[in-house]
């Protein structure tokens, strides 16, 4: 009887299960694209990022996320171009410098990576990832110098242990931000 009364007085409420949708917190476009990247749905992530940027082409956060998408897709040149442009448009942001450095390092361009990481740290001195990556780059540069020293003077006994130590120290690649 009670349900019949409710149905008569509030007809929509009686069928609420058919109309109701669960309340979801607002999910912004950044989160949507980032989730697509995490799920490795990279083409869809790129489409959504491009659609967003069509309306807001200067948005630094979505441009950065798009750079991550391009990196994940293996479109290194496009990612590098995007991160470079971000550093020019927003020199106060440290993350694009860091991700640009990671791409330079992947191409064995350690001097360029070092310069980019130094800029990241200059813009944000407490950016731990950039400090760690800079340390990794210094190890790579040291390895190059020790290898060159060994080629120039093959009997130099002090170099071999240093190269061996670097080999044991350095096993991870620099980290980008996602």
CA atoms of 83 and 112, how far apart (whole Å):
13
Radius of gyration of the chain (CA): 25
Q: What pTM does this model have?
A: 0.78
Q: Is the pLDDT of residue 125 over 80?
A: yes
Q: What's the chain's average pLDDT?
A: 85
* Yes or no: domain 97-178 corresponds to CATH 1.25.40: yes
**Would you say 121 and 92 are in contact if contact means Cβ atoms under 8 Å apart?**
no
For position 178, what pLDDT does the model report?
A: 62
Q: Where are the domains of the chain?
A: 97-178
Each residue's pLDDT tens digit, 17-61: 333 334 444 579 999 999 999 999 999 999 999 999 999 999 999
Please name which of 65, 61, 54, 129 lies closest in space to residue 93, comparing C-alpha atoms: 61
CA atoms of 21 and 27, how far apart (whole Å):
15
């Amino acid at each position: 009887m009670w349900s019949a009364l409710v149905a008569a007085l509030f007809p929509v409420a009686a069928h609420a299960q058919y109309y109701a949708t669960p309340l979801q917190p607002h999910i912004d476009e950044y989160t949507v694209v980032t989730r697509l990247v995490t799920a490795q749905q990279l083409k869809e992530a790129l489409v959504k990022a491009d659609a967003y940027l069509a309306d807001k082409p200067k948005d630094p956060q979505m441009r950065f996320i798009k750079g991550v998408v391009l990196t994940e897709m293996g479109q290194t040149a496009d990612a590098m171009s995007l991160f470079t442009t971000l550093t020019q448009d927003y020199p106060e942001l440290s993350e694009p410098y860091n991700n640009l450095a990671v791409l330079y390092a992947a191409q064995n361009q350690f001097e360029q990576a070092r310069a980019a990481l130094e800029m990241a740290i200059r813009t944000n001195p407490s950016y731990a990832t950039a400090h760690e990556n800079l340390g990794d780059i210094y190890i790579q540069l040291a390895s190059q110098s020790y290898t060159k020293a060994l080629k120039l003077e093959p009997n130099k006994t002090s170099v071999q242990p240093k190269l061996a130590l670097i080999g044991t120290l350095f096993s991870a690649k620099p980290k980008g931000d996602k």
